[in-house]
Structure 1
Amino acid sequence: NWYNMHPLFYFAIGLGIFVTLSVLATFIMTYRFRSNQVIVYAQIHFLIIILTGFLLASIASIIYPLDPSNVICTMNHWLQTMGYTLGLLPLLVKVAAINKMTLGARKLRRVQVDRNKLLGAVALVATITAVYLVIWTVVDPATRNEDLTLEEERGNLVAVRVNCSSSSDVWIIAALSWELLLLVCATVLSFQARNVRQEFNESQSLAN
C-alpha cells in the first residue's frame, strides 16, 4: 500500500502518539499535584473530564490515517465526537459560570454556583451526544467505501480512494456542526472571560 509507506503517514501516526503520550503525562501530573492551589481552583473533576476528551481526540488522530475498515470508521467518529464534547463542554460550562459570577459582582450581587449542577449539565449533554452516536451506529453506520477513478493521463491507471461514509451525509454534517459549535462557543466565552481575574479582584475589594 503506497499510502501506508508515505512519509506523511508515519508523521501523522507519530504526531498522534506524541499528543496521546502528552495527554497521559498531563493526567499523571494533574493527579500527582491535585492538592496544589492551582489544581484545586481549576476543579480536579473538570480537569479530568477535559483531559479525557483530549485523550479520546488524540487517539482518534492516531487511527484516522490508518487504512479504514468498518470498525475504524465507527471508532473514529465516536472518538472524535466524544473527544470534542468532553474536551470543550466542561470549559464552556465553567467559563459560562464564571461570566455569570462576574456579572453578579458588577451588580454587587452574590451569585452561588453549584458544582454538581455544572457537572450534571456536562453529563447530560455528553449522554445526549452518546445516544446520537449510538443511533448513528445502529441506523446508518459509517463503512469503508472505495471510489475508483480511471486516470487516462497516467496510462489508464485506476486510482482507488478509500474513505468512510454513511448512506446519508446528514450524520457527519450534524457531528461536524456540533464540533464547530463547541469550538466557536469556547472561543467566544474565553474571549469574554479574558479579564475575569481583575474583575474578581475588584469585586473582592468592594466586598471588603
Structure 2
Amino acid sequence: MSNVIVPDGVRLILATHNEGKVNEFRQILTPLIPDFDPSSVVSAKGLGVEEPVEDGTSFAANALIKAQALCKATGLPAIADDSGLCVDILGGAPGIFSARWCGHHGDDEANLSLLLNQLADIVDPHRGAHFMCAAALALPEGEPVVCQAQMVGRLVTVPEGDNGFGYDPIFVPASEDAPGGQGRTTAQMSSDEKNAISHRGQALRMLSEYVAAVFVPQPE
C-alpha cells in the first residue's frame, strides 16, 4: 500500500536524492524509451521520500533495498542504482562506501580529497580502478530485476574537469588511454560521451527492456 502522493503523469520513480544522478538517468533513458517524457520520471527527493538504510554487503543488495522500499512507498515501479569506485590497490575500496568514504554521506569534495590523500604516494601503473554499478527495477507486481556493469580505468593525481559528480574528476576510463583517446577524466567529457561508456549507462541499457515495459500503455 502506497503512502506517498504521486503527481499525475509520473510513471517511474528514481531512488536517489542526488540530482546529478537524476539528470544522468533521464539522459540515458531518453533514447531508450519511445516518446520518453523526462517529467514522467521523478526522484525520491522530489516526492519527499526518505532513503532507507543501506545495510547490504554488495552493490546489488543495496540497489534492491532502495528500489523495493521506494516501490512500496509509492505503489509505482522504482529504479535504484548502487554504484561506487573500486580502487585496485585498496582491495576494492571505497566500494559500497564510496558516497560516505569521508565518514558522512554525500560530501563529494571531502570523499575525493580523502581518497587522493590516501593514494598520494601511489604511482602509475598502480592506480588502476573501476566504477561498478548495480541497477535494480522493483515492480508493484512481479520479481525485481538487477543488472550490473563496470567501467575500468585509472586515477589521476589532480582533479580535472567540471562535469559529472563524485569521483569523476580523477577517473580516466581505459578508452581514453586507448589509441585515439585523449586521456580525459569523465568530468572532462560531455554527458553523452560519458553515458555511452559509463557503468551506470551500461547497467541501465541492460535494464532498458524491462523499464520500457513500464511505459507501454496498458489496456483499459
TM-score (norm 1): 0.31
Which structure has greater strand proportion? 2
Which structure has greater helix proportion? 1
